[in-house]
Amino acid sequence: MKYSLKTKLSLSIALVVLLTVALISLLANFFIGNQFKGYINIQQEKATQEIVKSISLQYDRDTKTWDVDFIHTIGMYALYDGYIVKVYNRENQVVWDAEACDMRLCTEVMDDITHRMMTEYPTLNGEFTSKEFPAIQNGEAVGTVNISYYGPYFLSEDDFQFLESLNKILVGIGIFSLLSSIFVGFLLAKRLSNPIHKTVAVTKQISGGDYGARINDESNTKEVDELIESINQLADNLEKQEKLRKQLTADVAHELRTPITTAQTHLEALIEGVWEPTIERLKSCYDEMTRISKLVIDLENLAKVESNNLKLDVTQINLLELSDKMSGNFETELRNKSLKLTIAGGCPEIFADKDRINQVLMNLISNAVKYTPEGGEIRITLSEIDDSVVISIEDNGVGIPENELPFIFERFYRADKSRHRLTGGSGIGLAIVKSIVTAHGGTVDVESRADKGSCFMITLPKASEK
């Protein structure tokens, strides 16, 4: 059985308060009860002393008589308070006896107290006991006062009422704390669970494909805010990925459509006999097929390097050697366009994936060759900065307009759209370069000015992370 956060939190708070209140009430009851008993004991001792003292004063030493009337008044008062008094003179003769005076009242008082104490304190095992006190006047014993009362202690009607109202107050406080804790717990839980409910709703929306959904609420709980922020970030990423996926499909379709349509119409014309199958026309069809095949290879390469688990086969490589070899591959193009390529500088050997770095160099040198007009110059420079090496490939070709620079590493992006049919580019080369370099823990930067030339700088750590 799963409970909501609201129920759990309210119940937990209520339970804690209930336990605390119960414990406090119990302890309060126990301690106050004990203190009260002590207080009652002292009070009773004082009361008996008071009775004895006032009775002692009723002896007239001159006439050697007792003022029985006064003793009667004192005795009756004491009786109402639960003390049964008997006064003896020096000769041990009874001067005044409560029981003799009003037997019925005495029994009533005794029964009343015994009944009350037995019901409220059954474990006390109390009973009426009598104590003798000497009646002393000016240091001289003038008689004896015998007082019986319910021992070890007894509580009067007022005392019981006091304890009862104390208990009532404690119970009242307990109920009030419990109710207010349930109320506060409920409010707290509501404030906590509301943003979570909203977050869950938006998360469901996102998982249902609505990537534009965002949580705009702010809570005053740090963790919940963090949750909201990461879900919004997740939605951002999903939205971006979805956009890229859609764009990729559209781009691939677009890239394939032109060469396929061209080849299709050419072949149609040849089949229907509209065109003579000359070598040139067949070659044009072949060229379109080559474009398609190149695009597919590029896409395959991109898919490989962009896959998250791109495995780098790291070995020790010499960048100068690699650059030299790669430039050699472009000998024909360089010669055809009368381009001058120089390699300068140097750097220590690094640990990286040789094939992938070769691909980076190939893509960058190929771009430099493609986008540099006849007679231009390409410079490859190697250098070392701290724990990294830098390869820069600079040309004085057509350059890239400033407003297009931020996009050139995106898949299928070509700076000057009209240019690509001449150069045969598909706009994937730099995306591959970026993926490979990033996988090595490096960075790619570019500086370029239209009609002045471009410079691509690759920074690679000497020892690759992967």
Q: Which residues in this chain contact ligand ADP in the complex, by CB under 6 A? A: 363, 367-368, 371, 395, 397-400, 408, 413-416, 420, 425-431, 454
**Alpha-carbon distances of 14 from 22, 101, 185, 187, 221, rounded to whole Å:** 12, 60, 7, 12, 21
Name every residue whose Cβ is closer than 8 Å to that of residue 299 and which is 6 or more positions away in sequence. Answer: 252, 428
Name every residue whose Cβ is closer than 8 Å to that of residue 445 and which is 6 or more positions away in sequence. Answer: 456, 457, 459
Q: Write down the least CB distance from residue 355 to ligand ADP, Å.
A: 18
Q: Write down the least CB distance from residue 225 to ligand ADP, Å.
A: 40
Query: What are the structure tokens assigned to 249, written together?
Result: 């499909």
Sign of torsion over alpha carbons 395, 397, 402, 403: negative
Q: For ligand ADP, give the closer residue by CB, 205 or 438.
A: 438
Could you give the 3-state DSSP secondary structure of residue 462?
Answer: coil
Q: For ligand ADP, give the closer residue by CB, 392 or 454.
A: 454
Could you give the 3-state DSSP secondary structure of residue 392?
Answer: strand
Name the closest residue to ligand ADP (Cβ): 425
Q: Write down the least CB distance from residue 425 to ligand ADP, Å.
A: 2
Q: For ligand ADP, give the closer residue by CB, 259 or 429.
A: 429
Q: For ligand ADP, give the closer residue by CB, 66 or 412.
A: 412
> Contact, 150 vs 79, CB < 8 A?
no
Containing 159, the helix (H) or strand (E) segment is helix 157-207
Q: Write down the least CB distance from residue 295 to ligand ADP, Å.
A: 10
Name every residue whose Cβ is closer than 8 Å to that of residue 208 and which is 6 or more positions away in sequence. Answer: none
Q: For ligand ADP, give the closer residue by CB, 145 or 400.
A: 400
- How many H helices and E strands in the chain? 12, 13
* Phi, psi angle pair for 156, to nearest 5°: -80, 175
Q: For ligand ADP, give the closer residue by CB, 384 or 404.
A: 404
HEC states along 60-98? Answer: ECCCCEECHHHHHHHHHHHHHHCCEEEEEECCCCEEEEH
Q: For ligand ADP, give the closer residue by CB, 148 or 323.
A: 323
Q: For ligand ADP, give the closer residue by CB, 301 or 454.
A: 454
Q: Write down the least CB distance from residue 219 to ligand ADP, Å.
A: 45
